[in-house]
A and B are shown apart, each in its own frame.
Chain A
Amino acid sequence: MLKRDFSKSGVEYLSKNKIAIILLAAILLIGTILSIVVGMPTNFELAPHSEFSISINEEQRKNIQTYANSVKSILDSYEAKYDSYSIYDEGDNTKLVIRYLSPLSDSNQERVNNAVVEQLKVDASAVSGHVTVGKIARDMDYVYTIVAILLMVLIASIFAFARYNGASAMAIIIASLVSSWLYLSIFAILRLKIGMSIFALMIILNALIIYSSLMLFERMKNTNWLFNSNFDSAISDANKYNFKRNTFIAIALAVVGLVFILFVPSPLKLVSLNIIYLAVVMLFATLYVVPFVWSMCITHCKPRKAKPTKE
């Protein structure tokens, strides 16, 4: 089991854990290559998609998952990438709406319609053919979210630079970038579709990393690390404090994710799982990446002059 030794600085620790560094670098590299070469998989919020709807009755609604899976298998056989299903109540009619990402050709669509009618024993008029739908989010929506994250990191790093030092600002920037990319890399590697919720969660991730980093630097400032040449002892002390705080937040986030998984309806379960994953990435970034980058950069920073102590 990987144990953190707080008597060692980030550089010292990570240099003795080369496997961790290699593993992290590999994840980031594979994620980068996949996202550049194949592209990030996106869900219907971010990509044009098709909709296929069937009117269903109350009885069929009770077995909705089985029913949706049957439609899914039909779509799969026509190489349409199934994305999700949702149920719309429209007065007396209940509509099962299947969304999928590869629009079928018209001839294939007719075959799919026939297959649905045949296999699911529904009235032919209850099946309405596919229609290509635009993205739900606008083209620039996710770009705006990324800009929001960058703006947030920029403001925090300027604050850290002004109040602490350049190493602190650099630690915030690098930790935010690495953790954001690590967060997205897993989606690229596992080919999980990302939607706007992932970008919203990335805002939370970065906010927590900034919060935790600032608390760490504030602790080091309060323990007079700025006037002490022994940076290793300063960071090991602050890390102990950081560890408790971040573990508390991460566990609380994981509890939120677990509670949501238990209580929320199935379309939200994946988002809830992402919250737990977010807690893990946040813990990694704040416990390892921030101290590591800070330890590397601090040797290049000029020590500040000590303030006169108050009587």
Chain B
Amino acid sequence: MTKKRSICLFILFTIILVISLVACFVNFTYPLTINSNYFTYSNFISNLRLGQDISNSLRITYRTQSPEDGNYNQLLNSTIDDLTQILQSAGYTDVTISTYGEDAIVMNVANLLSKENSDDIINLVGNPASISFSLTTNPDEAIITRQDIDTVEATDYYDTTVGEHLYYVSIKFKDSKKDYIAEQTKNGGNIYIFFGNEQFTTMDMGTTGIENGYIYINSDLFTSKQVATNYANRIKTGMLPLELTKLDSAIITPTYGVGANLFLLIAMCVLLLVGFVYLIVKYNHFGLLACFNLLFYVVFGLFFLQSIPLVNINFAGIVAMALAFIIAMETLNTIIKSAKAHYNNEAKLPVAFKLSYKENLFNVLMSNILFALVGLICLFMPVLSVKSFGWVMFVLSLLNMFTSLVLMRLFTKMYLGINSQDGKKLNFHKGGKNA
């Protein structure tokens, strides 16, 4: 690579890096826009979904009603599982539900970005009364109760005649009831759906119909899969195995105190700074290059962590970030050390780096695949903190392979276009002590 081309590429990458860092850390209103509410850019950091240990959460306390028959503990566990699943499919990944006293449960939902989030959750699961279907407006004359419903799903299909996706909610009834419902609704008419005594919606059976024990609800309001999923989730709240009564709800501050996320951000910045100082002091120009590469690693890492919907960052996730950063630093350290050893053995700089990358290819791949595997195993664990650790480890290990083997190699080539002779600028010395 020629010197001129190298300099041009460095300038280009620096511009990209500066723009990426702005995207990472700065919120701004798009220029030349009038309504700032709709045209505000929100940075990667604020888009990260945080766990309840470091962000505000909504706490709802419910009283459970013991069933006359059936195993209370078993039903309680199923209710907790169902509530968790409903909230997770609504996009709230950090949900903790624990038993409270003899007949109560406490649910904590973290990462409340706004007041609307808590209102949405309260609308969804705030008053989970039992669902029932009636042919009249009187809920006491219900022909279907929650025990008669098997599953509720939100699905979509591509309508070729209209040329667009249509979304609907399917309710499957248990075998014992499907013929009965078909019989009851064969002449059309309305079915009224109730939550407790409150009417939720009405379905015209003339247009809706029952097919193989399924009712398909289609509405113009279902403009996306998420809207249909929210509707299905609302119905699922009426099918919880135990009846729940809301005792109270409140927005509570993070478990680790107000400002925990700010403190952790400062801690991570200090860690980055310490790492950068170490690399620059030890390897001079190449230390700078490694820092340049690590900044790209940080930017890409934050981008992916905020883009993947299931990633939830709690304290374990932050520790995983710190660990991943150490591994990334260690990877670069190993590559530079190995190049230094070859240079000491009288190899020229380009040859030394070529040999070093070749030599360390397997090590870098193996170690990062190992950490990605560790992350993958953690993903299947039901514990939220372990899952958070797993996601961060998995994403950042895969990313480290790319940045250290592809990006760093490119930066090395660019640097060698500018300086391919003087090892002293990298703190390399011919015939010096081997690494």
Contact = CB atoms under 8 A, between A and B. Distances in A.
B270 A207 contact: no
Interface stretch (A108-116, A226-234, A248-256, A289-297): A248-256
Q: How large is the interface on B (under 10, 10 to 19, 20 to 34, 35 or more residues)?
A: 35 or more
B98 A91 contact: no
A148 B258 CA distance: 33
A144 B322 CA distance: 24
B381 interface: yes
Interface string B91-114: 000001011111010100000000
Contacts of A267: 255-257
A142 to B, nearest CB: 8
Contacts of B378: 148, 203
Given A200-B389, A252-B329, A268-B315, A156 B370 contact: yes
Contacts, number: 150
A196 B385 contact: yes
Contact of A196 (B252, B263, B270, B383): B383
Contacts of A152: 373-374, 377
B180 to A, nearest CB: 38
Interface of A: 86-91, 131-138, 140-142, 144-145, 148, 151-152, 155-156, 196-197, 199-201, 203-204, 207, 210-211, 214-215, 218, 222, 245, 248-249, 252-253, 255-256, 259-260, 262-268, 271, 275
Main secondary structure on B side of the interface with A: helix
Nearest to A136: B98
A141 B383 contact: yes
Nearest to A222: B359
A84 B426 CA distance: 51
Contact of B383 (A91, A137, A155, A252): A137
B414 to A, nearest CB: 27
Interface string B240-278: 000000000011110111111001101100110011000
Contact of A89 (B252, B260, B333, B383): B252
B323 interface: yes
Interface stretch (B199-207, B230-238, B283-291, B361-369): B361-369
B250 A214 contact: no
B101 A132 contact: yes
Contacts of B366: 214, 218
A207 B333 contact: no
Nearest to A260: B267
A214 B326 contact: no
B146 to A, nearest CB: 25
A100 B321 CA distance: 32
Contacts of B274: 255, 259
B104 to A, nearest CB: 8
B382 interface: yes
A270 to B, nearest CB: 12
Nearest first, the 4 A-B pairs at minimum CB distance are A134-B99, A263-B267, A90-B250, A88-B252
A271 B315 contact: yes
A296 B373 CA distance: 29
A207 B267 contact: no
